[in-house]
Structure 1
């Protein structure tokens, strides 16, 4: 069954029997036989086929979703058993929301690899909501997310503080002011992240706390695009100090002084609520908890 599920998932993702056969080092007839056997098992077709495409139908979508989880559990089970007798090694699939993933995690992974070269990390970057869903679906070993999140099946552990600042272009009229008012900020165009982002959550909490209702709001799906847009004078934003450190050093961005800033939030570790973990995952989590691989400028919990 595991082999059939692997073949099915590969065909679904490649949208092709021939490309799946190539990746799996199998013949195309063998791939077709596995798919047919799986469809007999479920008593229904799982894939719509034509000369131009291969795609999942409704039943196939259900099987694909659960097959990914089953294959992930099988791989994890095998890794855990192998891990008992070996030095820390193997794959480590890490997910992170954008701020931590793009500006902090590379430093952490570099130090992890320096100490444990046999551990092979893979990094996935999404917003906070998507990272939590991927861990719940057992497609990631661990995740680091921004802001607050809850999930009844996952372990969520705050481990570090993140300082957030209101930013403007260095040529903006508010950049030279010793202190600004909420009324002045309300007149500006605010550039924010998409729904589901920890950075968006932090901005909305700040708006509510200050009683600030932006006259204009622009939504972008990337921290880098937000920084470039603020630099170009399109508006103001709230971003992590870690994400803007280079721009502040270069002088292309400035922070706005408000009595309520900086805004503080937490970075949290998200894992399966499961006592069975690989050595690689335990090492990664311990390094983060001990704070000895975090960059010096990231404030500790």
Structure 2
């Protein structure tokens, strides 16, 4: 492990030498010495310091970004070596976009934990763009995202089909119709996810395919808030079946009969292009790829 980098990252994140020393179980003078050593190595100051604060300067921001990546690589290297001698165990850092992470991943983790209790998942939820960035920066072992994704230095593997429906509250006027026209969809209030979300990408593609330009568009940053808002009658939306299956079964939401719906897309696994995996990561990937790890799709 590169100790100066570890000390620097800890100071940067704690924004305080004393707290960093406590976390690292070191003395404060030792922490200061490591920072001075690193600054000599890179040839410039990395931190702005006063009696009130410690913060990164412009050079420090650059070093911090790369230090996080280097420390992540160290950790993965050690895990790979340890795996040669031990059974699957240790931290498994997972990231998932909202739909998969909140509505499907818990079922996968439950099965994994039952068989491999020594694997300790740590889960980060974000939109597709955010998860891809974290994998690219080696802060996640595996990402699971929605829709299409093309990024250099990432390996993207579609592994499951996802179907999406336009839904409304059960008592919404459009929910009572046998067929909903494009004009009616254009006039409706739409509730959509933020830019960068795989669900938003799918929604935009659907608008283009149906030649829709909704006049009233509300943007919410959470699938759960969108579902609650649609059930409350605020508007309509396009969501994955995985996210709405309970509401559909209970009758709170209804699928609208729209030409060209359902929209079909894929869930994809995202890993670093190097593809050197710990045993825990390999086992997780194998489980996700297996048939039966996801709830059954509707007929």
Deviation string, structure 1 residues 132-153 (Cα, Å, up to 9, x no partner):
1111111111111000000121
1:270 aligns with 2:279: no
Residue 156 of structure 1 corresponds to which residue in structure 2? 156
Shift in Å at residue 281 of structure 1?
A: 0.7
Cα deviation, 1:68-110, whole Å, max 9, x if unaligned, reads 0000000001110110111111111011111000100011011
Q: Which moved more, 1:110-119 or 1:43-52?
A: 43-52
Number of aligned residue pairs? 299
Query: Could you say which residue in structure 2 is the equivalent of 1:87?
Result: 87
After TM superposition, give the deviation of residue 288 of structure 1 in Å.
1.2
Measured after TM superposition, the shift of residue 297 of structure 1 is 4.1
Distance 1:292 1:251 in 2: 26
- Supply the distance in 2 between the matched residues of 1:55 and 1:230 (Cα, whole angstroms): 44
Shift of 1:249: 2.3
The corresponding residue for 1:260 is 260
In structure 2, C-alpha distance between the alignment counterparts of 1:187 and 1:18, rounded to whole Å: 59
Measured in 2, the distance between the counterparts of 1:274 and 1:120 equals 23
Give the Å deviation of 1:2: 0.9
Q: Structure 2 length as normaliser, TM-score?
A: 0.96
Q: CA deviation at 1:294?
A: 2.2
Gaps of 5+ in 2: none
Judged with a 3 Å threshold, the aligned counterparts in structure 2 of structure 1 residues 196 and 93 are, in CA distance, closer, same or farther, namely same
User: Aligned partners of 1:292, 1:45: CA distance in 2, in Å?
Assistant: 54
Which residue number in structure 1 is paired with residue 125 of structure 2? 125
Aligned equivalent of 2:66: 66
Aligned pairs for 1:200-215 within 5 A: 200-215=200-215
Shift, 1:298, TM fit: 8.1
Residues 80 and 277 of structure 1 are in contact (CA less than 8 Å); yes or no, is this contact kept in structure 2? yes
TM-score, normalised on structure 1?
Answer: 0.96
For the residues of structure 1 that align with 2:235 and 2:298, how far apart are their CA atoms? Answer: 26
Q: Which moved more, 1:280-289 or 1:22-31?
A: 22-31
Partners of 1:123 and 1:273 lie apart in 2 by 21
**Deviation per CA, 1:34-85, whole angstroms, max 9, x where unpaired?**
1121112222111111222211111000000000000000000111011011
Give the match for residue 294 of structure 1: 294
Call closer, same or farther: CA 1:298–1:6 in 2, change over 3 Å: farther
**Structure 1 gap ranges (5+):** none
CA distance in 1, matches of 2:250, 2:29: 59
Query: What's the offset of the Cα at 1:250?
Result: 2.5
Matched, 1:22 2:22: yes
| Equivalence for 1:139 | 139
Give the distance between the partners of 2:255 and 2:54, measured in 1 at CA: 52
* CA deviation profile, 1:239-295 (whole Å, cap 9, x unmatched): 111101122222222211112111111000111122421111111111111224223
Cα displacement string for residues 5-59 of structure 1 (whole angstroms, at most 9, x for unaligned residues): 1111111111111221221122222212211211122221111112222111110
In the alignment, is residue 186 of structure 1 matched against residue 186 of structure 2?
yes
* Structure 2 CA distance for aligned equivalents of residues 199 and 298 of structure 1: 19
Give the whole-Å Cα distance in 2 for the aligned partners of 1:237 and 1:113.
34
